[in-house]
């Protein structure tokens, strides 16, 4: 049986009096590629922050790698939304990537050989090895996203959590980022939250819809083989009724 990485049991969350999440239950297992789809303001980022122990649930229970989120969150590779960042900030690609292991390093100046090798290795994995000394601000949106994925990989995670990984990134890069995630999924579980039902549908193998309450639709593999595998080429849906067409009819109430 596959190991459970994230388990949410009847989790609710409120900001002041406003209920953002209500009775959400979810299970993420090894090697999953889960897409959590939902409108903006539907609670997707809140859900990720709960899983990472940055927020505490109002009720319900969250288990991360069989323990408390706050204890085990360093084993998660988190890729936040890019638009919150100040990209004028003076920081190089290598410095960003090595933030991934900053909790483990001792207090001293400069990076040692192991750290240089680790950063080269993860940058190589995302195809950005020639950019180590470049400033993050000098990169394009797609390149930055790869760097943030590399930073998450530097933590040597068993699970990647990505928040809107292709928002404001041009088409060509969107595919290359999902191709990269698809490749990484051979070793680690991946959870993507997004409001954009387009491109993600081609890659994920489990779907959950989130808008305050969650509807887990399970595996897309059981019923329908993954579209991209079927056609042997990248494939993208256009139109807002896509999940329904992909999954067949399903009710939310």
24 binds another protein (CB under 8 A): no
Residue 142 within binding range of another protein, rule CB under 8 A: no
Kindly state whether residue 157 participates in binding another protein, applying the rule CB under 8 A: no
- Judged by CB under 8 A, which of 109, 113, 186, 252 binds another protein? 109
Q: Does 230 bind another protein (CB under 8 A)?
A: no
Q: Any contact of residue 76 with another protein (CB under 8 A)?
A: yes
- In this chain, which of 17, 18, 104, 252 binds another protein, going by CB under 8 A? 104
Answer yes or no whether residue 155 interacts with another protein by CB under 8 A: yes
Nearest approach, Cβ of residue 72 and another protein (Å): 11
SS (H, E, C) the chain: CCCEEEEEEEEEEEECCEEEEEEEEEEEECCCEEEEECCCCCCHHHHHHHHCCCCCCCEEEEEECCECHHHHHHHEEEECCHHHCCCCCCCEHHHHHHHHHCCCCCCCCCCCHHHHHHHHHHHHHCCCHHHCCCEHHHCCHHHHHHHHHHHHHHCCCCEEEEECCCCCCCHHHHHHHHHHHHHHCCCCEEEEEECCHHHHCCCCCEEEEEECEEEEEEEHHHHCCCHHHHHCCCCCCCCCCHHHHHHCCCCCC
Which positions touch another protein (CB under 8 A)? 52, 54, 73-74, 76, 78, 80, 85-86, 89-92, 95-96, 98-105, 107-109, 135, 137, 151, 155
């Amino acid at each position: 049986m596959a190991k459970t990485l994230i388990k949410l049991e009847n989790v609710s969350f409120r900001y002041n009096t406003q209920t953002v999440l209500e009775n959400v239950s979810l299970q993420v297992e090894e090697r999953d590629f889960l897409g959590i789809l939902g409108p903006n303001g539907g609670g997707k980022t809140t859900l990720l922050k709960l899983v990472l122990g940055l927020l505490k649930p109002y009720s319900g229970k969250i288990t991360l790698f069989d323990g408390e989120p706050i204890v085990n969150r360093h084993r998660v590779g988190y890729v936040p939304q890019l638009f919150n960042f100040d990209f004028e900030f003076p920081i190089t690609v290598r410095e960003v990537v090595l933030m991934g292991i900053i909790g483990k390093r001792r207090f001293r100046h400069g990076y040692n050989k192991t750290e240089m090798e680790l950063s080269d290795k993860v940058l190589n994995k995302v195809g950005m090895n020639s950019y180590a000394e470049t400033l993050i601000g000098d990169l394009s949106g797609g390149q930055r996203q790869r760097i943030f994925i590399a930073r998450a990989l530097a933590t040597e995670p068993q699970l990647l959590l990505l928040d809107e990984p292709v928002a404001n990134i041009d088409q060509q890069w969107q595919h290359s980022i999902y191709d990269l995630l698809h490749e990484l999924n051979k070793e680690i579980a991946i959870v993507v939250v997004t409001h954009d039902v387009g491109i993600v549908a081609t890659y994920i193998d489990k779907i959950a819809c989130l808008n305050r309450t969650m509807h887990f639709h399970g595996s897309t593999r059981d019923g329908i083989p993954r579209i991209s595998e079927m056609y042997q080429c990248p494939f993208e849906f256009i139109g807002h009724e896509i999940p329904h067409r992909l999954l067949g009819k399903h009710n939310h109430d």
